[in-house]
Chain A
Amino acid sequence: SAVISQKPSRDICQRGTSLTIQCQVDSQVTMMFWYRQQPGQSLTLIATANQGSEATYESGFVIDKFPISRPNLTFSTLTVSNMSPEDSSIYLCSVEGTGSSYEQYFGPGTRLTVT
């Protein structure tokens, strides 16, 4: 399975500011995913990021709020823009496995607190 790292691991930010989260994979992957995990909740998919194309956002998430970059096959960023306390969550990136069964492997997550 791929080894995935995320930076920062945690941050405390003021409302109205933006934070960019980085996701690095140790191998080339086609698809990367970004999830949000609100406190005490399950995971919700924000968007899917393919290299060389615009990210595909799920219902309830928009590019202006969560812009995503995917400059190459091993790296992606997610920006949380104009933050409010409601954005306090864990943000996780994941990649698809190399098999055909659609399993995903997750990074350690970024714990964001907005004050």
Chain B
Amino acid sequence: AQSVTQLGSHVSVSEGALVLLRCNYSSSVPPYLFWYVQYPNQGLQLLLKYTSAATLVKGINGFEAEFKKSETSFHLTKPSAHMSDAAEYFCAVSGDAGNMLTFGGGTRLMVKP
């Protein structure tokens, strides 16, 4: 069965610093992978997705993620954090279960001034 593990339920960075949010997945078939962001009191917004085209995927708001099959990882990065990036980030996978998404536990990103 497909699964997602997000290492670190809370990540704190200084404004301007590198953001790295970790995601590892398990899937018995080539997966589709997604990162979503949830701002306070809002729904989920799709940041980016991996669909087996390019392994380095660029998303909105300057985020990008790299698919590494050998490491079963799909870590999310941003070179320079902004205060507005403070939110909850969810990694998700589909593939094993068809179109069903399985979500990781989420990582709360805090950005310090």
Q: A42-B106, A104-B101 are in contact. List 8 more A-B contacts (CB 8 A).
A: A31-B99, A42-B104, A43-B44, A43-B90, A102-B99, A103-B49, A108-B42, A109-B42
Q: What is the CB-to-nearest-CB distance from A94 to chain B, in angstroms, rounded to a whole number?
A: 8
Looking at A92, A103, A111, the one whose CB has the most chain B CB atoms below 10 A away is A103
Instruction: Tell whether, in the assembled complex, residue B43 and residue A102 are in contact, meaning their CB atoms are under 8 Å apart.
Output: no
- A45 interface residue per 8 A CB criterion: yes
Contact present for A92 and B49 (CB under 8 Å)? no
B41 part of interface (Cβ distance < 8 Å): yes
Instruction: Determine if A45 and B43 form an interchain contact, defined as CB atoms under 8 angstroms apart.
Output: no
Q: Taking beta carbons and an 8 Å cutoff, which residues of A are in contact with B?
A: 1, 4, 31, 41-43, 45, 48, 92, 94, 96, 99-109, 111
Interface of B is mostly: strand
B103:A42 contact, CB within 8 angstroms: yes
Contact with A along B1-24 (1 / 0, CB 8 A): 000000000000000000000000
B residues near A, CB below 8 A? 32, 34, 36, 41-46, 49, 51, 90, 94-95, 98-101, 103-106
Contact of A1 among B46, B98, B101 (CB under 8 A): B46
Which A residues lie within 8 Å of B95 (CB)? Answer: 102
Q: Which residue of A lies closest to B46 (CB)?
A: A103
Chain B residues, Cβ within 8 Å of A99: 51
Once A43-B90, A111-B41 are accepted as A-B contacts, the answer to whether A105 and B103 lie under 8 Å apart by CB is no
Q: Which residues of A contact B101 (CB under 8 A)?
A: 45, 102, 104
Minimum CB distance partner of B48 in chain A:
A103
